[in-house]
Amino acid sequence: MAIEIVTKEDLELFRIRLMEDFKKLLGSDKVDKNEWLRGGEVRKILKISPGTLQHFRITGLIHPSKVGGIFYYRLDEINGMLERGVRYNK
Protein backbone atom coordinates (compact mmCIF):
# COMPACT_ATOMS: atom_id res chain seq x y z
CA MET A 1 0.00 0.00 0.00
CA ALA A 2 1.46 3.33 -1.12
CA ILE A 3 1.41 6.37 1.12
CA GLU A 4 0.36 9.67 -0.46
CA ILE A 5 1.38 12.99 0.99
CA VAL A 6 -1.17 15.82 0.94
CA THR A 7 0.33 19.27 0.63
CA LYS A 8 -1.11 22.66 1.56
CA GLU A 9 -1.54 23.37 -2.14
CA ASP A 10 -3.59 20.19 -2.54
CA LEU A 11 -5.83 21.23 0.34
CA GLU A 12 -6.26 24.74 -1.08
CA LEU A 13 -7.22 23.34 -4.49
CA PHE A 14 -9.70 20.99 -2.78
CA ARG A 15 -11.21 23.92 -0.86
CA ILE A 16 -11.65 25.98 -4.04
CA ARG A 17 -13.31 23.12 -5.91
CA LEU A 18 -15.53 22.34 -2.94
CA MET A 19 -16.69 25.97 -2.70
CA GLU A 20 -17.45 26.02 -6.43
CA ASP A 21 -19.54 22.87 -6.05
CA PHE A 22 -21.45 24.40 -3.12
CA LYS A 23 -22.15 27.55 -5.13
CA LYS A 24 -23.54 25.44 -7.98
CA LEU A 25 -25.72 23.43 -5.61
CA LEU A 26 -27.05 26.52 -3.85
CA GLY A 27 -27.58 28.34 -7.13
CA SER A 28 -25.56 31.43 -6.31
CA ASP A 29 -24.13 31.49 -9.83
CA LYS A 30 -27.45 30.73 -11.51
CA VAL A 31 -28.18 32.93 -14.52
CA ASP A 32 -31.24 31.15 -15.85
CA LYS A 33 -33.48 33.95 -17.13
CA ASN A 34 -36.44 31.59 -17.49
CA GLU A 35 -36.51 30.72 -13.81
CA TRP A 36 -39.86 31.17 -12.06
CA LEU A 37 -40.19 32.26 -8.43
CA ARG A 38 -43.01 31.95 -5.92
CA GLY A 39 -44.40 34.97 -4.11
CA GLY A 40 -42.40 34.47 -0.93
CA GLU A 41 -39.15 34.44 -2.86
CA VAL A 42 -40.13 37.60 -4.75
CA ARG A 43 -41.07 39.36 -1.51
CA LYS A 44 -37.65 38.51 -0.03
CA ILE A 45 -35.80 39.79 -3.10
CA LEU A 46 -37.78 43.04 -3.28
CA LYS A 47 -38.18 43.35 0.52
CA ILE A 48 -41.91 44.01 0.25
CA SER A 49 -45.06 42.84 2.02
CA PRO A 50 -47.66 40.46 0.60
CA GLY A 51 -49.99 43.45 0.11
CA THR A 52 -47.41 45.31 -1.94
CA LEU A 53 -46.86 42.27 -4.12
CA GLN A 54 -50.62 42.06 -4.65
CA HIS A 55 -50.64 45.77 -5.55
CA PHE A 56 -47.91 45.12 -8.14
CA ARG A 57 -50.07 42.36 -9.67
CA ILE A 58 -53.27 44.41 -9.71
CA THR A 59 -51.66 47.49 -11.23
CA GLY A 60 -49.82 45.44 -13.86
CA LEU A 61 -46.37 46.35 -12.61
CA ILE A 62 -45.52 42.63 -12.75
CA HIS A 63 -47.15 39.87 -14.76
CA PRO A 64 -47.31 36.55 -12.90
CA SER A 65 -48.63 33.21 -14.08
CA LYS A 66 -51.10 31.42 -11.84
CA VAL A 67 -50.92 27.64 -11.60
CA GLY A 68 -53.18 25.80 -9.16
CA GLY A 69 -53.78 28.89 -7.04
CA ILE A 70 -50.09 29.80 -6.80
CA PHE A 71 -48.63 32.85 -8.52
CA TYR A 72 -45.26 32.42 -10.22
CA TYR A 73 -43.07 35.35 -11.26
CA ARG A 74 -40.29 35.45 -13.85
CA LEU A 75 -36.87 36.11 -12.36
CA ASP A 76 -35.80 38.29 -15.28
CA GLU A 77 -38.87 40.53 -14.78
CA ILE A 78 -38.05 40.96 -11.08
CA ASN A 79 -34.39 41.71 -11.89
CA GLY A 80 -35.56 44.22 -14.51
CA MET A 81 -37.61 46.03 -11.87
CA LEU A 82 -34.54 46.28 -9.64
CA GLU A 83 -32.34 47.52 -12.48
CA ARG A 84 -34.88 50.15 -13.56
CA GLY A 85 -35.45 51.25 -9.98
CA VAL A 86 -39.24 51.10 -10.39
CA ARG A 87 -41.12 53.41 -8.05
CA TYR A 88 -44.67 52.81 -6.98
CA ASN A 89 -47.39 54.56 -5.01
CA LYS A 90 -49.79 52.62 -2.83
Q: Say how far apart CA 67 and CA 78 lie, in whole Å.
A: 19
> What pLDDT, on a 0 to 100 scale, did the predictor assign at position 55?
94
Calculate helix-pair angle for 50-59, 39-46, nearest 10 degrees: 100
**Where are the domains positioned within the chain?**
36-84
Tens of pLDDT, residue by residue over 2-48, are: 898 999 998 999 988 988 888 777 765 454 556 899 999 999 988 89
pLDDT at 57: 94
What pLDDT, in 10s, does the model give residues 47-86? 899 999 999 999 999 999 999 999 999 998 988 888 887 6
Query: Comparing C-alpha atoms, which of 82, 33, 32, 34 is closest to residue 62?
Result: 82
